[in-house]
Structure 1
């Protein structure tokens, strides 16, 4: 019997599996938290950077 070849998944299925799978949840939350902190720091420094200059 010939081995079965896996069918390629669609982009939506791949994203759904990688983003919402329980085994990936902790890593995805760490990435989201880090990205939020970085974005917040950039926005803060662009808005209030002149106040930090001595």
Structure 2
């Protein structure tokens, strides 16, 4: 019984890992993932910039 449960968990983890790998690293989805990463980095950079130098932008 315990071995069967462990086997099911291992198969479940394998399918999750496989799906994550297929979503992140597949060549046909790479351009979209790069666009998302670029957008998030620009957004985070804008937040950091405004938190540090926001008072200089006030008129």
- Aligning the two structures, in what range does the TM-score lie when normalised by the shorter sequence? 0.7 to 0.9
Task: Looking at secondary structure, tell me which structure has more helix per residue.
Answer: 2
* Structure 1 runs (4+) greater than 6 angstroms displaced: none
Unaligned runs of 5+ in 1: 1-7
Q: Which residue of 1 aligns with 2:50?
A: 45
Q: Which residue of 2 aligns with 1:26?
A: 31
How many residues end up aligned between the 2 structures? Answer: 47
Give the 3-state SS of the residue equivalent to 2:43 in structure 1: helix
Scaled by the length of structure 1, the TM-score of the pair is: 0.79
Q: Which residue of 2 aligns with 1:4?
A: none
Q: Could you say what the CA RMSD is over the residues aligned between the two structures, in angstroms?
A: 1.3
